[in-house]
Amino acid sequence: MFTSRHVKHSRLLLRHARKYLRYKDDQLSTSDREQIVAGMKSLREALRQKDRERIHSTADALDKTLHRLTPVTWESHWRENCEVILVAIVVAVGIRSYFLQPFKIPTGSMQPTLNGIIGHPSTDPAPNILRQIGEFIALGRNYINVVSREDDQVS
């Protein structure tokens, strides 16, 4: 019903070893290929016999063989970390540039011209609500109805 951890790890190691052989079969020397195949065979036999100590020892031997053939280099870790950091910076700058641009307006007199918000007096009626919504989404245009008294000036 439940499989122990060392059996799961050993099966996973066998699967990775088979995958490694498929990928690198043409580049491996015959001695390395035979060593991997022999390690896989002995690990399968140990799994069939359910001998915990033998499973550990053969799995460690196969793991060391695979690590010897494909060593993990620190340069790859640095490269991956730098790539993740650069992608995060690009995404953050992109979101900030196109969607969220926080800034402070130094004086209240500059607020009407923020992002080109300039009022133009017009006697034409505002378009219907659907067109206003469409122009707001597409152009960022917003219609504000400003009503003044007759003797006031709109500037």
Which regions in the chain score pLDDT beneath 70? 1, 101-105, 108, 110-121, 146-149, 152-155
C-alpha distances in angstroms, 129 versus 112, 120, 134?
23, 19, 9
**Does some domain include residue 124?**
yes
Residue 25 lies in a domain: yes
Does 129 map to a domain?
yes
| Residue range of the domain that includes 49 | 5-69
CATH number at residue 16: 1.20.1270.10
pLDDT digits (tens, 9 = 90+) for 101-113: 666 667 767 666 6
Specify the number of domains making up the chain.
2
The pTM of this model reads 0.48
48 lies in some domain: yes
Which spans in 50-109 are helix H?
52-69, 74-98
